[in-house]
A and B are shown apart, each in its own frame.
Chain A
Amino acid sequence: MPQFLSNKRLIILLVSIIILVALIGFSIREREKLTWPEQFIKDTTGWVQSAFSRPTNYVAGFFENVRDLQNTYEENKELKARLDELVQLEVDVQTLAKENKELREILDNKEDLSAFDPVQAIVVGRNPERWHELLVINKGKQDGIQQNMAVITANGLIGKVKSTSQFTSTIQLLSANDPTNRISAKIIGETETYGTIEGYDEERKLLKLKRLPYDAKIEKDQIVTTSGLGGVFPQNLPVGKVVEVVPDEFGLNQTAYVEPGADFYDIRHVMVVTVKTQAPDLSDITSEEEEEL
């Protein structure tokens, strides 16, 4: 029987374990940005990936269209019924938008937490190993995407930008089990209740909205949106609906289980939300203070 580990082999194994630990330690910490070799590799593979994923998306899209054709009749009926409501809604929205604008002018408040510019992007890759829920999209720094920006689909928030390279970026989905992935959110009821989205229940496929006040009255099916208080995400991006509320382990807070509106699996097109309003410059604040003095 040949020897599995000779002396030389053993040394190679030990050295590679040391390198392994060093590399993991280097890459797992919170990083501001990727090193340039990583960015280069990501851009190159991103280009190859989009060359592959575009045609496959067309083919998959075709089959989806065929499947959609089967229930066109019923869908059409339902949509027609909704159309009547839509006219009323449109009128309401217009009057409200106008009123909002006028009130803002009265208040002289130009900053709006809910204003944002969406950047359209196509998903070109997804992490196949499923431990880290990551997506690769075909827009990067050159398109104005920065770390920690919110990423949405038509149905709601799906995650945030984890890292960027010049032409591609990586998105971390909300379903990833990452304790640093916290998003300030609110539940819209008669009064607004604020909390943070922390973690994901893998078995029930629900998001956990923690740190809600213990006396807040939260009901099922209330809508959860981002609150804009974190300063990174804009306000009022839809997240999902409340399914269940439980008191947390010490009874000081409540935790709500939220069913995400967006599907975390079948994602083709996403929008990266770039916030219009920035945090005020430090120079502005200091100069104002000086004026007061």
Chain B
Amino acid sequence: MKKLLLPIFVLFFFILESLFVELFSPQLFNSDRIIVPHFLLVVLLFLTVYGGKKQGILYAAIFGLLFDIVYTEVIGIYFFLYPLIAYFVSKTMQLIHNHLVVVSLTSMVGIILLELGVYELNYLLKVTEMAFQTFLQERLYPTLILNLVFTILVSFPLKRQFDKYAEELRNE
């Protein structure tokens, strides 16, 4: 991938999340469960693993801040959690072989961490009063299923793009 195209590429997934919830209402799946797309985080984690750790964490911070300002209006939560999770994933990847399946599963763990972190912070800030059990059943499991499907679909093309990007960085 061309170096300059990367921000536009990530921005596309940033907007895709909002388009997804706009178009696919929960009634469409015939349930009241809350399904949250975390496409942006998946892309950021793949970038961290295949494109370069520094790039990944930097992009995570920038898009986390953007997410906070544009979508939630509470600045700080995603700005803090995105880079933190990207950092932990990059550290974990040093311990295990970065096979595609392993990276996909690690990004699922990243999504669990993010959902838990955001839930705890929102619970502290009294944005939500959802009980932990309901949170797990109504929100976390369906969210994981959606994002797993997304990750399976995009993992291979993403890896190829970010490998090319990393090579370009090395050639400089």
Contact = CB atoms under 8 A, between A and B. Distances in A.
Contacts of B74: 24, 27-28, 132
A202 B130 contact: yes
A125 B11 contact: no
B167 interface: no
A26 interface: yes
Interface string B4-38: 00000001000101111111011100001010110
B118 to A, nearest CB: 7
A166 to B, nearest CB: 15
Interface residues of B, number: 42
B70 A41 contact: yes
B18 A125 contact: yes
Nearest to A170: B73
Contacts of B15: 45, 48-49, 52, 125
Contacts of B70: 41-42, 45, 125, 136
A23 B21 contact: no
Given A48-B11, A52-B15, A265-B26, A131 B129 contact: no
A38 interface: yes
B122 interface: yes
B79 interface: yes
Contact of A2 (B18, B21, B22, B94): B94
Contact of A56 (B23, B79, B122, B130): B23
A266 interface: yes
B19 A205 contact: no
Contacts of A179: 126
Contact of B22 (A123, A163, A205): A123
A16 B37 CA distance: 26
Contacts of B125: 24, 28
A114 interface: no
A129 B72 contact: yes
A24 to B, nearest CB: 4
Contacts of A16: 80
A126 B77 contact: no
Contact of A52 (B19, B69, B94, B121): B19
A173 interface: no
Interface string A257-275: 0000000011100000000
A60 B32 CA distance: 22
B71 A125 contact: yes
Interface string A40-83: 01100100110011001000100000000000000000000000
Interface string A122-156: 01011111111010100000000000000000000
Contacts of B17: 128
19 contacts: A20-B77, A23-B75, A24-B76, A24-B121, A24-B125, A26-B75, A27-B73, A53-B22, A60-B23, A123-B22, A127-B71, A128-B71, A129-B71, A130-B34, A131-B122, A134-B71, A134-B72, A134-B73, A265-B27
Interface of B: 11, 15, 17-23, 25-27, 32, 34, 36-37, 66, 68-77, 79-80, 91, 94-95, 118, 121-122, 125-130, 139
